[in-house]
Amino acid sequence: MNTMIGRRPLVALVAVLTFLLRPAATAAASGHAADRIDRLPGQPPVDFDMYSGYITVEKSAGRSLFYLLQEAPEEAQPAPLVLWLNGGPGCSSIAYGASEELGAFRITPRGAGLFLNEYRWNKVANILFLDSPAGVGFSYTNTTSDLYTSGDNRTAHDSYTFLAKWFEKFPHYKYRDFYIAGESYAGHYVPELSQLVHRNNKGIEKPIINFKGFMVGNAVIDDYHDYRGTFEFWWNHGLVSDETYRLLNRSCIDDSSVHPSPACGAAFNVSMEEQGNIDLYSIYTPTCNETATASRRRPRGRYPWMTGSYDPCTDRYSTAYYNRPDVQRALHANVTGAINYPWVTCSDPIYNNWRDAPRSMLPIYKELIEAGLRIWVFSGDTDAVVPLTATRYSIGAMGLATTNSWYPWYDVQEVGGWSQVYEGLTLVTVRGAGHEVPLHRPRQALIMFQHFLQGKPMPGHTTNGTLA
């Protein structure tokens, strides 16, 4: 819904004038004025600045990563800086995080324009979206083999190089409180990049990248526990038969998520037939009526079932919008013409040829918990791709002591979800949300994000969640 509808004319006029007259002195002084977005096609007036462009992370190979920065309004500054990463591997943070989840805008049908997201996260933080690795979204490489040799290790190091150079381009963000967040296969990206930042900050009294912690949602954490929890979720929610549940546990529980065995693949085929044409990413919401079969080909995750059903309609809106030449010009995207193919939400070559993927992130969690960093894990409880049961098993494997036992948290008088606080880690569930929590429960997601930034537990019944 366009939030401009129903406003009094005077309010709308003030918004337009605010957009046109806000100062640009900071951008010019910082040396990144060329990356400033004047206005995106079809964009409503806003009270915040945006920047986008490229950072070269490997000159010899011609690898350049594309970013989009949506700053917080002036009255909210100095706000923290948060890097957001989507997963796949091979899916665009611009397509998903920025355009249908926590970003400032949502895209209208057929990519005709934009409308404001009432619960945009840049109300309380400066949000930096990154398309990673090279070959995803508007990020590109001049070395074709890079598309077939990507993996966790290179992605983490390229992302760190991006950050180091980005802070030089935006020096006023140096020493600002900095967090990393993401979802799905970014359950690998986020802790791996967090570990690099933490280790490179060691011994520096006042690090430029003032890293404070990370947050991941419906995240791939540990193959064994993720498989175990996923099969249990399917069975408990009536998505598979008793026999198939036993078959999945027997054939897949010890498999690698990157290269499942033929027996495991066969078990997945049986499970997909039994599940039918549902949206595994949000099991209680309808699939898009437009070519439901196409949705089953979307590469949205590393696990075999993550190629399954996802509503393709919003994907179509972003595909139409970001392939518009005027949109690309406004975003300073594809300025060299290196992207000589249509923009897509997810890259098949990267997804299908992913190389290294450690089976577990738990050792990284333990290292960063011991370092005293803020770590939150959240989960939409209607997701069958990386479901809540998988997350709970993975967290349970760490054997952390509980400091605040399981309790319901509230948005005004409604239960928004449940939470448990451990020593060094907070788990938050979001009731009724699917795989993309800010898409399905935008208000509750923003409340959660605010509490994460403040380092405060989710509100109980006596405190009630409110939006700042």
**Residue 185 · residue 96 · CB < 8 Å:** no
| CA-CA-CA-CA torsion sign (368, 365, 155, 451) | negative
What residues act catalytically? Answer: 184, 383, 435
**Residue 128 · residue 52 · CB < 8 Å:** no
Residues paired with 66 in a beta bridge: 54, 131
Which amino acid type is present at position 65? L
| 289 CB-side CA count, 13 A | 0
The three state secondary structure string of the chain is: CCCCCCCCHHHHHHHHHHHHHCCCHHHHHHCCHHHECCCCCCCCCCCCCEEEEEEEEECCCCEEEEEEEECCCHHHCCCCEEEEECCCCCECCHHHHHHHHCCCEEECHHHCCEEECCCCHHHCCEEEEEECCCCCCCCECCCHHHHHCCCHHHHHHHHHHHHHHHHHHCHHHCCCEEEEEEECCHHHHHHHHHHHHHHHHCCCCCCCCEEEEEEEECCCCEHHHHHHHHHHHHHHCCCCCHHHHHHHHHHHCCCCCCCCCHHHHHHHHHHHHHHCCCCCCCCCCCCCCCCHHHHCCCCCCCCHHHHCCCCCHHHHHHHHHHCCHHHHHHHCCCCCCCCCCCCCCECHHHHHCCCCCCCECHHHHHHHHHCCCEEEEEEECCCCCCCHHHHHHHHHCCCCCEEEEEEEEEECCEEEEEEEEECCEEEEEECCCCCCHHHHCHHHHHHHHHHHHHCCCCCCCCCCECCC
